[in-house]
Amino acid sequence: MPRFDLPSLRPGAAAVSSRAALSAKPCFQLRGRLTRVTTSARKTLCCLLAPERYRDRSGGREQFVPIEQVHFGARDLLFGGGFYRPEHAGYNCGDDVARLAAYLHALDPQQWTVAQLAGLDGVTDEEDRADELAFVREWFPALRDLYERARAGGFVVVCEIL
């Protein structure tokens, strides 16, 4: 696993981050512009795009599927010689960002169905699943755009859940 040391960052290089606010609603930031991401959107996207991982979250970061890497990072974050909050923080290097931007670009939210959300925790009826699907479809372009802007700018993406 490559090292990611704080002194190696140029100013602005880590300008993209995911951080949970006190309300447990993480947000992504790109040079001061915030995009709020709710916990349900992360869960909903995992249920839609990787239902096997949504049901079985065992294993470490090395087993993350792309949608989990988008939200939690593909790599552990190291400062100096130590891991920084390994269960709660990670990052995507430039190559990861490019790969994940391409992954997100290839997804078509119009192909997602209410039936795919049948196993989503806390969503018990068809109307709630339809609302959740509409919400994630509305929100998804902001996530795709964030990764595309990070790729175009040569940024890393640092993800942290507080």
Domains of the chain, earliest start first? 6-160 (3.40.1760)
Could you tell me which residue, 19 or 64, shows the higher pLDDT? 64
What 3-state DSSP class applies to 102? helix
Nearest to 2 by CA among 104, 98, 95: 95
Under 8 Å CB-to-CB from 74, ≥6 apart: which residues? 61, 64, 90, 91, 92, 93, 96, 100
Give the global pTM: 0.77
Percent of the chain scored above 90 by pLDDT?
49
Residue 55, pLDDT score:
85
Residues 108-158 pLDDT 10s = 999 999 999 999 999 989 999 999 999 999 989 989 998 999 999 998 888
pLDDT at 92: 93
